[in-house]
Amino acid sequence: MKTFCGRANPTTGALDWVEESEEYDYHQEIARSCYADMLHDKDRNEKYYQGIRAAVSRVKARGERVVVLDIGTGTGLLSMMAVTAGADYCYAIEVFKPMATAATCIVERNGFSDKIKVINKHSTEVTVGPDGDMQERANILVTELFDTELIGEGALPSYEHAHMHLVQADCEAVPHRATVYAQLVESDMLWKWSQLQPIEVDGNKLLPPPAVVKCAGAPSVCDIQLSQVPPESFTPLGPICTMFRVDFSKQVSSAAQSYTAQFKAQTSGRAQVVLSWWDIDMDPDGSIVCTMTPKVPLIRTLNENKLSLWRDHWMQSVYFLPAEKNVSEGEELNLIGSHDDYSLWYGLTHSVQNDVKVATFRPCCTCQAHLVWTRPRFGELNDEQRTESYVNALRSILKPDSVCLSVSDGSLLPIFAHLLGSKKVFSLESSGMAKQKTFKLLNGCVYLVYLYIYSDLIFFTLQISVLMGEPYFSTSLLPWHSLFFWYCRTAVAQLLHPSATILPRAATLYIVAVEFRDLWRIRAPCGTCEGFDVSPMDEMIQRSLDYRESLEAEPHPLWEYPCHALTKPRPVLTFDFTQCVPEQPVNSDGTVPITGGRCHGVALWMEYQLTEDITVSMGLTKPVSEEGACEWNPHRKQGVFFFRSARETSGDGREDLSYNLTFEPHTGDIKMDFSITEP
C-alpha cells in the first residue's frame, strides 16, 4: 500500500506530494521522535519508578492483587518498573504499531512476557472481560500522556474513558495529580512573536492594520525552552499562580472549564504574555515531584530547589493575551485560564469576578496575518536591526526609475522599495492572504502589483531593474530550501535588464562542528534505562534513521539549544545569484581543524550577501568566542547533521572535521557527509 507524503521542493518553493511506501510515514515519525530524549530523562524515569513502587506498596498493603494499566506504554518501561516493584500483572497499551512491536520485543528480552501484555490499540478501544483485551479492571493506572501543554496529547479524554471503563473506582494513579502554574509578564521580545510592530522607513511610519492589532492571534501554544530566554527580556507583573489541578486517581472530566487566579499587580507595565508550566506529583503526599519549572532567575517558587532539568519532550508554554493591557502596581487582577479537551488559553480582567463563565471557544486568528506568518516570522519582521540592513541595502541600489520584482513570501521588501522611491514595484507571492496583509500596511495608499503564479509573468512587458528577496518562503524547512529564490531568478532571466541588480547577490552555506550541552540526547542510543534493556528501541530508531532522507540534516532553532563550537565556522558552498542555476552539480570537500571536546554533529546555516558591504546571517549572529560560545539567529531554524555516536576529540592537532557536500541543481537539495579524521 502506498501513501502520499508532503516534502519541501527547493526548486519550486512548494510542498510536493510524493508517493511513498506505507512504511515511509512511520519511519519519519520514529526518526524525528524524542523517544530517546524521554529515556535519557533520568529525573523523569526515577520519579516514575519511585511513584510506581509507592503505589504498588499501597495496594499490597490493602491485601489486593496488583493489576496495572499502562496507557501509552512506549517502550514498556513503566510496565517493567511495575512488575519489578511487585505488580502481579500489567496491561501495556500502545496505539503506534511500530512502538508496540518494539515494546513487545523489549518486554520479552527483559523476561517479563508472562506478566506484561502489550495491546496495540487506542485505550478507548480496549475491552474488559473474559473475552476482552483485559481480563479485569486495573487498580493502578500508570500513564505518560503529557506534552508541554500537559493536555495536548489527549490526556483528559483518555483518563476520562479509563476511569469509566478500565480501572477500579478506588484505583491508585501514577502520577497522582498535575498542577498547572502561570505568571503574567511584560515582554517586548516575546510580544514581537505575536504582533506586528510599527516600522519606520525614511520618516514614513508603517502601522499594522487595526485588524491585526485587535486580533487574538494564533490559537496554538508556543512551546519553547524558556530557560534560554534572557531574563532581562521580561518583567513579571504578578506572582506565580496555581491555576488548576487534576487528580488522576479520581474520575477526570474532559469538558471545557475555566479557572481564576486573583492577585495584585506587583509592578506597573503592559500585560502581554502568560508563561505557563506544570508539575506532576507521583504520590498523594506530593513528596515525589517532577517539575517543568524553568531555570530562569526571575521565576521564583516557594521551593527554590524545585527547578526543571533539561527536557525537549516537555518544555514550557508561552501564551499571548488577545490584546496587551496596561496595569498599575497594586491593581486587582484576574488571570483566567481555560481549557477544552486538548488545549489551554488565558485571559485577563481588571475587575474581580466571582463567577467566570467558560469560554466556549478558544481565541483564534481573525486577521489572517497569523495564518500567513509563523511566530518566528513575526519576530523576524519586527527585528529592527535586520530591517535596517535591508533598507540600507535597498537604499544603495534603488533609483527613481527602478522597476522592482520581489520574490519572497509575506515580505515587506516591496513596501520598503516603494517608500524609497522606486518607479514600480511588483511582488511574486505564493499566498493571496500575504498580499492582503502587506497591502493593508500601507493603508491602501500605495499601488503595488502582486503576481501569484509564474504564468502571470508571460504578460510582463517591463524590464526588471531590481530583483529582490529576503529570501523567505513558508515551505522552507532547511536553510538551503530558500534557494528557491535562485530558481526564481533563473526563471525570470529574460525579464531582467542587462544591468539588473540582484539582492541578495549571493548566498554562502557555512558549517561548524559542535558539542551540544543537551540536544544530543534526542539522538543518542539509550542501551539500558533504569536497569532495563531497551536496545530494541535503539535498533528501531536506527533503522528509521537509515531510511532515505532521515540520513540528512534536521531543522532546529539552535538559540534554544546551547552548543560549543569545536571548529571555526567554515564557508563551504557559495551560490551566485547574479548567474542562473548551473546545470551541473556543485561539490565542495575539505577539512577543518577541530579542537578538543565531544563532537555531536555539525550545524549548517546560510548567510546572504545583500550588497558588497551588507551581509545578513541566518545562523551565527556574532563571531564564535575564544571559548567556543555561539549566538544564533532566533528567527530561523538552522540545519543539524547528527553523528550516529559522539566522537571524543583531543584537540592536539591530530584530528580534523572532514566534509563533502554536493548541491544537486535538479532537486535543489544538498547531499552531505561529515566525519572526524586523522590527517
Query: What residues are annotated to the active site?
Result: 144, 153
| Residues found in the chain | 679
Letter string b/e over residues 214-235, b meaning 16 or more CB atoms within 10 A of that residue's CB:
ebbbbebbbbbbbbbbeeeebb
Q: Which of 347, 344, 356 is nearest to 321 (CA)?
A: 347
What lies within 8 Å, CB to CB, of 576 at 6+ separation is 505, 506
The β-bridge partners of 514 are 565, 601
What lies within 8 Å, CB to CB, of 285 at 6+ separation is none
Three-state DSSP at 316 gives strand
How many angstroms separate the Cα of 395 from the Cα of each of 202, 408, 496?
10, 19, 20
CB-based contacts of 413-419 (< 8 A; 24+ apart in sequence): 413/468, 413/469, 413/470, 414/438, 414/448, 415/201, 415/206, 415/441, 415/442, 415/446, 415/448, 416/201, 416/387, 416/390, 416/391, 417/466, 417/468, 418/442, 418/446, 418/448, 419/201, 419/202, 419/204
Q: How far apart are CA 662 and CA 334, in angstroms?
A: 57
- Which H helix or E strand runs over 406? strand 403-407
How many angstroms separate the Cα of 657 from the Cα of each of 40, 405, 650, 672, 673?
27, 41, 12, 13, 11
Q: To 5 degrees, how large is the angle CA 345–CA 183–CA 352? A: 75
Q: To 5 degrees, how large is the angle CA 249–CA 254–CA 257? A: 105
Q: How far apart are CA 68 and CA 618, in angstroms?
A: 50
Q: To 5 degrees, how large is the angle CA 546–CA 92–CA 180? A: 90
Q: How far apart are CA 63 and CA 78, in angstroms?
A: 22
The β-bridge partners of 609 are 506, 615
Q: Give yes or no for a contact between 595 and 656, defined as CB atoms under 8 angstroms apart.
A: no
Residue 488: all three cell numbers together: 526564481
How many angstroms separate the Cα of 151 from the Cα of each of 145, 160, 293?
8, 12, 17
Strands of 166-247 (E only): list them. Answer: 167-174, 177-186, 199-201, 204-206, 222-224, 235-236, 241-247
**Dihedral of alpha carbons 546, 548, 552, 555, sign:** negative
Q: How many alpha carbons fall within 13 Å on the CB side of residue 215?
A: 21
- Which H helix or E strand runs over 533? strand 532-533
